[in-house]
Each structure stands twice: as structure tokens, then as C-alpha cells.
Amino acid sequence: MPPDFVALDKAHVWHPFTPMQDWCAPDHEPIMLVDGEGCWLTDQHGNRYLDGNSSIWTNIHGHRHPRIHAAIKAQLDHVAHTSFLGFANPPAAQLAGELTALIPGGRLNKVFYTDNGSTAIESAVRMSLQYWEQNGSPQRTRIISFDAAYHGDTLGAASLGGIPLFKGSGNQFGYAVQRISSAEQLESLDDVTSIAAVIIEPLIQGAAGMRVWPQGMLKQIETWCRAHDVFLILDEVMTGFGRTGKMFACEHEDVVPDFLCLAKGLTGGYLPLAATLTTQRVFDGFLGDASEGRTFFYGHSYAGSQLGCAAALASLAVFREERLLEQLPAKVTSFTSVLDTLRAHPHVIDIRQCGLIAGIEIGKSKDPREEYPAADRMGVKACLAARRHALLTRPVVNTLVLMPPLCATEGEMQRMAEALRASIDEVCGSD
């Protein structure tokens, strides 16, 4: 007899972003995911579900991709993990070469590895601050971020974010952050010479509820940053690797930041790995004499993970071999028409889309002022109902998220939308 995994989980595991009183309730049986293939996941009872949010926005090629499996297995035959502090390794070196070559113009030619999105962001912020401190502008300590931004959960990353719920109790640490809500507001900031960097989720804010920025905003911010010699940090943790219809969101507006932060889709969702790409200028600002004074004293045990880098290389190979970028515009068009079928629903008040990302907001009626109170947890209820229609996803308050793997067929996207429609009918009614 195998162990009772559900009982063990309920007895001992504390899940992230999860109200544990609901989880541990006697009548709640958690879904235990045991298998996956392509866009589909299978639970402990053999039920199959569509992975409607690419396993929290990571599995861009779906599950069990043979190319990535083979790469991880091949790497295991050499070595799984070695220290990156004082040692190099082949997959990390090759991946750095490939990642830097993906950014047009060759401006981002240095790669710093961590193992999750939050620390990819923190690396960029800490590098910015240390750069200014040791290169003649120690007064540049302020970070400009945006209302409702989400950049991760570590103390520093949480201090950049603009969603109070995610800041944590008693967080008196963190950076000197000033939040704004539009590119125009940059113009009215005082004391610009004290600003170290501007950080933004380009094109679309994720955890804010899939809020799409106005077109041209990113370019405007880049122009402002260049004019004032302020670093631009782009958080492409969610948007990177094809999500928005191009490899990176910044390509839509021909913007090249000073720091590009990548995680989630970097390994195709197979292993934890993150990368912060930056410029020669920033790198040079950390070179010094023989003393260690200008060194970047930051990094994690799994930095440059050999297995993670091997998986990431395979994921990039999948992009090339399956000509994914060429197929993306057609995929996005299919996704748009699939989403259109939900637009007329009496309880869908807004659909926000950016590439293969969608936020479907539900409300009491078509009148956007008639919101469901957050306490009613209608988004959660709709997503729980979706499970009965073979779809797994997670809401942001009243916004249901659809983020199919890039390999999803039009038929699979349609099934995702149909499942959502049935769930909204069930939870909100169909009139």
C-alpha cells in the first residue's frame, strides 16, 4: 500500500498563498497532481485537467516535453549540482551566451543567475544601488515602482510591490520606494538625481489582475530613464519567453532595459532557475583593484544550477526547433477569438488580454460598478467549479486567469474557455 499522501499533506504541509483552514477542512480533498502530458495534468484518481495557467505561469511547453526530459537526463549523467561561487560550468556558460544573443543590439551581455523571480528582481535592485554607490552617485537610492505592482515575496521584492496584501506583517525593511501610476507621473517627480532605478512589469501587470498598460508607455519610460540616467529594470518574470507573442515583452516597443529579470518560463517550468541580464556598463562598475571592495556580495546556493541551465538550453532549443516564435501570432489570434466567445456572458465585465495571457473579470452584472465584494470569493468559487469541468486555474480576486501553455492547440484553448463559461454559469448564474 502506498502512503496516504492526502492525509500526510493535510497533516504536515503548509501551502503558499492558501487559506489553510479551507485546505484542512475535513470535507476538502486536495487535488494531488501525479502526472502530466502536454497541456494536461492527471490527479490521484486518474481525472484529467487542462493546465489553464501553465502551472502558475511557468510551463510554457506544457508537461513531459521529450526534448527537455532528454536534456535533464543527459546532464544527470555528468553532474547535477556544483557550486557557482568560484566555479563555472558548461550549461551555465552556454545559456548565458544564448540568452544574451536573444536581446537585439547586444546591449545586455552579462547574466547573473539566481533561482526564482523574486531574487532575480532583488539582484537587479541591489546591483543598481551598489553601482551608484561605488560609481560617484551614492545619493541615487530611490526606486520608482508602480501602483499594484508585484515583483515577488522576499523582503526586498515585497517592498517594491504595490499590493498591500502581499507585503507581509511588520515589513519595515526594504528599499526607499516611491510608487506612481503612469509614465506621465515620472515628469513630475522631484529630486530626480536621487533616483536609482524605475522598475515595471512591461505591457501587463500580473498579480494586479492582468492589467494591460497603455501602448507606448514602456517606450516613454525608457526615454525618460535615458534622459535622466536612471536605470530601467524590467520584470519579465511572467511575460518572458513568448507569453506576450514575442520572446520578450520589451520587444513590442523596441525597448532594451538596463536589467532584464527572467524566471518562470526560463526552464520551460521544469526546474527553478532565474537570470538577471545586464549591461557591460553595470558590470564594469563592479570591477576594482585587488581588494574585494567592489564585489557584488550576493548569491544563492543553487545559482547557475547545472540541471536548471540544461533544461533552459533545451527550452530555447524547443523554441528554435518547433519554430514557436513564428507560430505565436496565429496562436494569439486563436486565443483572442476563443476569449471573444466569453465576452457576451452577462457576468463577464471585462476581458484583458496580452498575447497568451488573459484576465476574465466577473461581476454581478455588465455594469462595472457592480463588483462582487472580495469577501464573497467569487473568483475562487469559479475556479473551484472549473475543476469539475476539467480546468485548473487560479483567480486574482474576481479576475479568472487563463494562461495556456504555448503548445496549446486552438481546440484546447476552446475547451478552457468552455470550462470557464460553464463555471461562471454555475457560480454567478447565466442571466
Residues near ligand PMP (CB under 6 A) are: 116-118, 121, 150-152, 201, 206-207, 235, 237-238, 263
Would you say 299 is a known binding-site residue? Answer: yes
Q: In whole angstroms, how close is the CB of 115 to ligand PMP at the nearest point?
A: 8
297, three cell numbers: 556580495
Q: In whole angstroms, how close is the CB of 151 to ligand PMP at the nearest point?
A: 5
Complex with ligand PMP: residue 89 or 114, whichever CB lies closer: 114
Rounded Cα distance, 406 and 54, in Å: 9
Length of the chain: 431
Would you say 117 is a known binding-site residue? Answer: yes
Q: Contact 72/80 with Cβ under 8 angstroms? A: no
Rounded Cα distance, 112 and 120, in Å: 8
Q: In whole angstroms, how close is the CB of 385 to ligand PMP at the nearest point?
A: 24
Q: In whole angstroms, how close is the CB of 150 to ligand PMP at the nearest point?
A: 6
- Work out whether strand 176-180 and strand 211-212 pair parallel, antiparallel, or are unpaired: unpaired
Write phi, then psi, for 200 (nearest 5 degrees).
-150, 150
- Work out whether strand 399-402 and strand 395-396 pair parallel, antiparallel, or are unpaired: antiparallel
Would you say 55 is a known binding-site residue? Answer: no
Residue 357: beta bridge partners?
354
Q: In whole angstroms, how close is the CB of 11 to ligand PMP at the nearest point?
A: 26
Complex with ligand PMP: residue 121 or 416, whichever CB lies closer: 121
Would you say 81 is a known binding-site residue? Answer: no
Element (H, E) at 34: strand 33-37
Complex with ligand PMP: residue 131 or 150, whichever CB lies closer: 150
Q: Contact 365/378 with Cβ under 8 angstroms? A: no
The single-letter DSSP state of residue 373 is P
Complex with ligand PMP: residue 3 or 16, whichever CB lies closer: 16
Would you say 150 is a known binding-site residue? Answer: yes
Complex with ligand PMP: residue 5 or 17, whichever CB lies closer: 17
Q: Furthest-apart CA pair in the chain: how many Å?
A: 73
Would you say 301 is a known binding-site residue? Answer: yes
Binding-site residues for substrate, please?
Answer: 150, 264, 299, 394
Binding-site residues, please?
Answer: 117-118, 150, 235, 264, 299-301, 394
Binding-site residues for pyridoxal 5'-phosphate, please?
Answer: 117-118, 235, 300-301
